[in-house]
Amino acid sequence: MDRSPIRREKLVASLARDEVDALLVVSETNVRYLTGFTGDSSALILMRDRALLVSDGRYATQIAQECTEVDPHIRPLGQEMDDALAEVIGRLGLGRVAFESSVVSVARHEELTNRLPTVSFLPVLGRVETLRAVKDEQEVATIRAAISMAERAFAMLRAGLRLIDTEKDAADDLEHYLRRCGAAAASFPPIVAVGPRAALPHARPSGEARIGDDDFVLIDWGASAVSAPYKSDLTRVVVTGKVTPKFETIYRTVLSAQERAIAAIRPGVAARDVDAEARSVIEEAGFGAFFQHGLGHGLGLDIHEAPRLRKESDIKLLPGMVVTVEPGIYVPGWGGVRIEDDVLVTPDGCEVLTHVPRSLDSVRVG
């Protein structure tokens, strides 16, 4: 079922509140969310009574197939997008147009303002992203599929992991397995970080560091589904050597922090309060200085989207939100531990959508 018309209808209500005639949407992700169009280089002009998709001749047939309830405007060969937008907005006689201030550059805003001096452009923030934060059943089902692909790919990687493999070898293998398991692509370039390099939360896989160089390796990965590019996002630490007392202490602390945070997730709870649950566990264990990022983020068409689970966020969780919960402790010169799972907010609590075991015993490989 195409949910695009329902999404546009919800968004139209904000036009009246903002006292504007239309919303200009140029984010490719937001255009897809509101129309179902899977191409690029296009923009949506959403009005109270119609939606008009400005694109080019490469996509004329595709738009006719994917966007049956959206009016197309195919700009002629050689016409730039801003020229086409100015032409259409002027022809429609729009007086006040809201635009995505987080996406439209200053230069683009100035260009449109200069071309349309009688039109007032109003910057707005997060109108589409707020809708995207709450997933419907179809979106959740697609995220579940992306999680299943990621979990099967990780099982394949783990089964064949060799101590002589470099971080890059493992990351490349993981991307291959993700596609073998049905993913369109990885959600993002996988992170594979051995020992001290795991202290870098976003470490890039090295072609020199080998899996056997230390006792453990951090792996952060996810899959992007084929039917629609909804994402999954997981992190596990795999023990390839011995479990030292320090590793055990840090691992158990991170796991406890994650469990405490997940237990706090339910409708109406502020995102910052969920973050605080995990952060308090890590601080009480004496590692507060080594947890320097937010607890998690929303997950959907983008790998990072609303809501954000962090100290300063007062957003209230709602049923249908899907968030990551990923506390971590990163000790320079030693390494890092992060455990990440994807969690759905349900009407009466939450559901952990990911199923890769997290116990200390489960992360050891032979």
Instruction: Please write the tens of the pLDDT for every residue from 278-292.
Output: 999 999 999 999 999
Question: Is it the case that residue 1 has pLDDT exceeding 80?
Answer: no
- Work out the average pLDDT over 231-259: 98
- What distance separates the 2 farthest-apart alpha carbons in the chain? 71
Write down the pLDDT at residue 17.
87
- Every domain range in the chain assigned CATH 3.40.350.10: 4-132
Write down the pLDDT at residue 29.
97
- Work out the average pLDDT over 164-178: 98
- Every domain range in the chain assigned CATH 3.90.230.10: 137-363
| Gap between the Cα atoms of 344 and 298, Å rounded | 10
**Contact predicate 211/183, CB 8 Å:** no
Instruction: Give the CATH class of 4-132.
Output: alpha beta
- Report residue 298 as tokens: 């929303």
Asked: is 137-363 a CATH 3.40.50.11540 domain? The reply is: no
| Alpha-carbon distance values, 232 to 36, 68, 304, 319 (Å) | 20, 29, 10, 18
Which tens digit of pLDDT belongs to each residue from 17-27?
A: 889 999 999 99
**Contact predicate 219/154, CB 8 Å:** yes
- Report residue 319 as tokens: 């049923």
* Beta carbons within 10 angstroms of residue 208's beta carbon: 8
Angle at 134 between CA 129 and CA 135, to 5 degrees: 110
Question: Is it the case that residue 366 has pLDDT exceeding 80?
Answer: no
**Contact predicate 40/31, CB 8 Å:** no
Write down the pLDDT at residue 207.
97
Which tens digit of pLDDT belongs to each residue from 316-358?
A: 999 999 999 999 999 999 999 999 999 999 999 999 999 999 9
Q: What confidence tier does 151 reach under pLDDT thresholds 50, 70, 90?
A: very high
* Phi and psi, residue 180, nearest 5°: -60, -30
Distance of CA 241 to the CA centre of its chain: 33
- Report residue 160 as tokens: 């064949």
Write down the pLDDT at residue 13.
84
Using DSSP, state whether 67 is helix, strand or coil.
coil
- Report residue 145 as tokens: 């599929």
**Contact predicate 84/57, CB 8 Å:** no
Write down the pLDDT at residue 18.
87
| Gap between the Cα atoms of 142 and 270, Å rounded | 26
| Edge-to-edge strand ranges of the sheet holding 296-298 | 305-309, 296-298, 322-325, 341-346, 349-352
Angle at 209 between CA 204 and CA 215, to 5 degrees: 105
* Pair type for strands 120-124 and 185-186: unpaired
Question: Is it the case that residue 127 has pLDDT exceeding 80?
Answer: yes
Write down the pLDDT at residue 2.
82
| Alpha-carbon distance values, 247 to 216, 219, 251, 299 (Å) | 9, 16, 6, 29
Question: Is it the case that residue 182 has pLDDT exceeding 90?
Answer: yes
The predicted model scores a pTM of 0.95
